Chain A
Amino acid sequence: GAVVSQHPSWVICKSGTSVKIECRSLDFQATTMFWYRQFPKQSLMLMATSNEGSKATYEQGVEKDKFLINHASLTLSTLTVTSAHPEDSSFYICSARPPSMVAEQFFGPGTRLTVL
């Protein structure tokens, strides 16, 4: 149980284009999902908390107009990187917390974004 999927697993795009990443909880409903960013050889950095039916909560320093988050249903959250630039190239990982659990988050496999 507690399986989270992400799509796509990798994407290469041109500078200035927008990229959408999907995160799905496959066997549970998640009112809260989380989006992280990870640079090579570094830990996970939380970007935002995605809440079903309401606005996402962004961490300090994360531009909400650049990283658009939509949590449209209890099993799907999307992250759109708008007007992507090479410095946005990174590994983006989502996670979801089953409603029966207080702390545990289950992670998707990640999406490798490369902006040319």
Chain B
Amino acid sequence: GQQLNQSPQSMFIQEGEDVSMNCTSSSIFNTWLWYKQDPGEGPVLLIALYKAGELTSNGRLTAQFGITRKDSFLNISASIPSDVGIYFCAGHFGNEKLTFGTGTRLTIIP
């Protein structure tokens, strides 16, 4: 099935740095979701976006729904060790299914 393109594929940063990742699609979505997955666990919902242009924060996380409805980005400020994991975007349009991104793996260098 279709997958959304996420970039970067992986990131190696130092604790305290800010992080930015994005997700792009060839088709439009009505809802964008961002999830975080820890090793051996299921994804956990971080942020949901419902309108084009919407900017939403959840603690140190900020996400935006792109104006074209074909992209979204996620920023993490002042990263901490527990931010390590894989971040997935997901888009939703019309039917029941979510379309997931390819994932961005975040690693914090000690």
- On A, residues with C-beta under 8 Å from B are 4, 6, 32, 34, 42-46, 49, 59-60, 91, 93, 95, 97, 102-110, 112
In the assembled complex, how far is the CB of residue A92 from the closest CB belonging to chain B, in whole angstroms? 10
Provide the bound-state CA to CA distance between A49 and B44, in Å: 19
Provide the bound-state CA to CA distance between A30 and B46, in Å: 20
Please state if B3 and A43 are interface contacts (CB–CB under 8 Å): yes
Provide the bound-state CA to CA distance between A6 and B41, in Å: 11
- On B, residues with C-beta under 8 Å from A are 1, 3, 30-31, 33, 35, 40-45, 48, 88, 92, 96-98, 100-103
Please state if B42 and A109 are interface contacts (CB–CB under 8 Å): yes
Please state if B48 and A104 are interface contacts (CB–CB under 8 Å): yes
In the assembled complex, how far is the CB of residue A36 from the closest CB belonging to chain B, in whole angstroms? 9
Can you spell out 17 A-B residue pairs with CB atoms less than 8 angstroms apart? A4-B42, A6-B42, A32-B96, A42-B103, A43-B103, A44-B43, A60-B1, A91-B40, A93-B43, A102-B30, A102-B31, A102-B92, A104-B31, A105-B45, A105-B98, A107-B44, A109-B41
